[in-house]
Amino acid sequence: MSLPQQLINNRKITTHESKVVTLVLITVALSYLVLFLGIPLFAVFYEALGKGWSLYWAALQDPDAWSAIELTLIAAAIAVPANLVFGVAAAWAIAKFEFRGKSVLITLIDLPFAVSPVVSGLIYVLLFGAQGWFGPWLQEHDLKLIFAVPGIVLVTIFVTFPFIARELIPLMQAQGKDEEEAAVSLGASGWQTFWRVTVPNIKWGLLYGVILCNARAMGEFGAVSVVSGHIRGMTNTIPLHVEILYNEYNFVAAFSVASLLALLALVTLLAKSIVEFKAKSNGDRLPHGETE
Amino acid sequence: MSITIQNLNKQFGNFTALNNINLEVNSGELFALLGPSGCGKTSLLRIIGGLDVQNSGKILFHGKDVEQRDARERNVGFVFQHYALFRHMTVFENVAFGLRVKPKKERHNETEIKRRVHELLQLVQLDWLADRYPAQLSGGQRQRIALARALAVEPQILLLDEPFGALDTKVRKELRRWLRRLHDELHVTSVFVTHDQEEALEVADRIVVMNKGNIEQVGSPDDVYASPASPFVYQFIGNVNLFHSRTHALWTQQQSDAVAYVRPHDIDISLIPQQSSLPVAVKQVRAIGSVVRLEAAIGQDSEIVEIELSRERFNITPVAVGDQVFIRPRQIKLFEA
């Protein structure tokens, strides 16, 4: 079936409600969208650009803003690859092998989703802070995790831990291990099997997970806020910097920096749609039944 | 290459999939593992191929223990029920896979790989599909490609797990004849798993019938069909009527506590009583292709006997629903109850 044909079939009218009902329902749904998603998004850019482009640029060129952007990029640049490697390894193990403690592992992977980000941050303070379990040891060796960049990276990894693994596990489970077994019986090594058979089959799901993981890594507020210490120009990420600016009534600057995150969100959504479209046209399957 | 299986055991938790299996597959033979689902046949095949590991026991290829060799090193071609073709590769690349993953010093050059792949595709008569993707093929085509892919690495043993299980009846019949011809050409030792007795009887040189992790019988299709070694084999292969000694002592020769097994086509009917015949009432008459199948009730009770007659035989003694006839077995096999 060709694509246009599919679109027509999908639009087949299956209900026979009156025009009024249809209109009311659509209006309610659209108003909801505009009210809760459209207006806030518009407000960010409106406030940021309200006093003109020059103030907007000035806010972004502030050294503290730059350092916040830099730190955010560093945190994401470490957290995303780390979780990429872990996520693929965990999903591969869970989906393709049977072992003891598998269900415990699956539950553990979900932990960061279940725990409030603020609590996650606190856990790290309790572990690595000055009064924490490993605090004295760290001080002895002159290592600083909490209220420093390494702490921010650690909590970012923790909070974004499940994204890629969660995306891949159902996908790889659905694909089964027949193809891998076939590859091995044809003489492929584990490494060859992984790169030539497994990776091509999961690449779109993987990309999808990376995009979501990255968005969260850059946007995380709660956990990072706890371990950061809010030192300007040192341990502020973009979201923390926005908060500080806002609390200082520097609204233009706050919204200007916030607009960066909003832009990131828009780019993420666009990338996500492209990946979904590509995956669909390749006949691959993403979890949550997006293509079926 | 012969396969010897010695005292093989496999447990999944508390479930015994294979219970002390001993089996010999001769070199060049087309061998069928036949049994109902859950009888352990697929486990056995996977263990032979190195995809699963036994709890105890040995597998020998040509007299050599293969325990130290994993699936990669056993040089076994495996064909899966659901094809397991690499979905992101073309048909050509699927077949070439086994040649491309060889260690560098054994690997052929590109021209040689091309030549071999096309040779294999011609062997399975699908050369024209080389550039397609698996999703664009029919089930029968996919399975033939899967077979070509398995043959590419010149395996010494070919293992097929319900190779035609996912296909419709007509394609199944074509493919199994084709497999038989292919095997006669290549003579590679092949073991295939099936739950379809007709398939096993038609294709295999020898059959092992399995049930609940045990071997019930090993033999040629003829042996297994004509002289089943156990009640299970009798019932699993072909239809059968059971007559218990308590109610039908006449047929079980007064042996106490025995059950007589009679195939529907081993029953004769006549309109007049004969020596040791049973009166029955015809309940149903169905003509199916070249045979006519009758269902008849014994006496007053609801015990039903199935009778199968050739059309010619039926025309000599045409009966209709409600008629009283007398049945007599031509052949009986007794097992203790």
Interface of B with A in 141-170 (CB under 8 A): 146, 149-150, 152-153
Chain A residues close to B97, C-beta within 8 Å = 183, 186, 188, 196
Q: What is the pLDDT of residue B271?
A: 85
Q: Do B97 and A200 touch (CB under 8 A)?
A: no
Tokens of A43: 């407000």
Q: What is the pLDDT of residue A35?
A: 92
| Amino acid letter, A80 | V
Nearest to B71 among A178, A185, A197 (CB): A185
Say if residues A146 and A227 touch (Cβ distance below 8 Å): yes
Range in A239-243, A285-289, B121-125 with the lowest mean pLDDT: A285-289
Q: What is the pLDDT of residue A286?
A: 47
Q: What is the pLDDT of residue A234?
A: 78
Q: Which residue has the higher pLDDT, B334 or B246?
A: B334
Residue A292 confidence (pLDDT) above 50: no
Q: What is the pLDDT of residue B240?
A: 83
Q: Search chain B and give the residue with CA nearest A189.
A: B72
Q: What is the pLDDT of residue A192?
A: 92
pTM: 0.77
Total Cβ atoms within 10 A of residue A151? 24
Say if residues B261 and B241 touch (Cβ distance below 8 Å): yes
Token pair 């087309």: residue = B30
Residue B306 confidence (pLDDT) above 70: yes
Q: Which residue has the higher pLDDT, A35 or A275?
A: A35
Say if residues A226 and A170 touch (Cβ distance below 8 Å): no
Q: Do A188 and B72 touch (CB under 8 A)?
A: yes
Q: Search chain B and give the residue with CA nearest A186.
A: B98
Tokens of A154: 């650690």
Q: Smallest CA–CA separation between B41 and chain A, in Å?
A: 17
Determine how β-strand B291-298 pairs with β-strand B304-310: antiparallel
Q: Do A186 and B50 touch (CB under 8 A)?
A: no
Q: Do B78 and A181 touch (CB under 8 A)?
A: yes
SS (H, E, C) chain A: CCHHHHHHHHCCCCCCCCHHHHHHHHHHHHHHHHHHHHHHHHHHHHHHHCCCHHHHHHHHHCHHHHHHHHHHHHHHHHHHHHHHHHHHHHHHHHHHCCCCCHHHHHHHHHHHHHCCHHHHHHHHHHHHCCCCCCHHHHHHCCCCCCCCHHHHHHHHHHHHCHHHHHHHHHHHHHHCCHHHHHHHHCCCCHHHHHHHHHHHHHHHHHHHHHHHHHHHHHHCCHHHHHHHCCCCCCCCCHHHHHHHHHHCCCHHHHHHHHHHHHHHHHHHHHHHHHHHHHHHHCCCCCHHHCCC
Region B203-228: mean pLDDT is 90
pLDDT tens digits, A139-150 = 888 888 788 888
pLDDT tens digits, A24-65 = 999 999 999 999 988 988 888 888 888 888 888 888 888 888
Interface of A with B in 251-290 (CB under 8 A): 283
Q: What is the pLDDT of residue A287?
A: 44
Q: What is the pLDDT of residue A233?
A: 75
Give the number of C-alpha atoms closer than 13 A to the C-alpha of residue B253, restricted to the C-beta side: 7
Q: Do B72 and A181 touch (CB under 8 A)?
A: no
Interface check for A184 against chain B (CB to CB < 8 A): the answer is yes
Mutation target among A172, A186, A203, A284 for the B interface, most CBs of B within 10 A? A186
Interface of B with A in 31-50 (CB under 8 A): 49-50
Q: Do B50 and A185 touch (CB under 8 A)?
A: yes
Provide the pLDDT confidence category of residue B253 given band limits of 50, 70 and 90.
Answer: low
CA dihedral A185, A187, A192, A196 (to 10 degrees): -60
Q: Do A196 and B150 touch (CB under 8 A)?
A: no
Total Cβ atoms within 10 A of residue B11? 14
Determine how β-strand B189-194 pairs with β-strand B267-270: unpaired
Provide the pLDDT confidence category of residue B301 given band limits of 50, 70 and 90.
Answer: low
Say if residues A129 and A135 touch (Cβ distance below 8 Å): yes
- Percent of the residues in chain A that have a pLDDT greater than 90, as a whole number: 25
- Residue B312 CA to residue B298 CA, distance in Å, equals 25
Token pair 């009770």: residue = B301
Q: Search chain A and give the residue with CA nearest B136.
A: A283
Q: Which residue has the higher pLDDT, B81 or A7?
A: B81
Q: What is the pLDDT of residue A283?
A: 54
Most confident region among A6-15, B62-71, B141-150, B233-242 by mean pLDDT: B141-150
CA dihedral A144, A148, A151, A153 (to 10 degrees): -130
Total Cβ atoms within 10 A of residue A273? 10
Edge-first strand order for the sheet with B241-244 is B241-244, B258-262, B333-336
CA dihedral A11, A12, A17, A18 (to 10 degrees): 80
Q: What is the pLDDT of residue B276?
A: 76
Provide the pLDDT confidence category of residue A290 given band limits of 50, 70 and 90.
Answer: very low
Q: What is the pLDDT of residue A268?
A: 83
Chain B residues close to A182, C-beta within 8 Å = 78, 80, 84-86, 146, 149
Tokens of A99: 């072992």
* Residue B155 φ/ψ region, left for φ over 0, alpha for ψ in the -120 to 50 degree band, beta for the rest: beta
pLDDT tens digits, B101-153 = 988 888 888 899 999 999 999 988 888 998 999 999 988 899 989 999 999 98
Q: What is the pLDDT of residue A282?
A: 63
pLDDT tens digits, A83-140 = 999 999 999 999 888 888 888 999 999 888 888 889 988 888 888 887 878 888 888 8
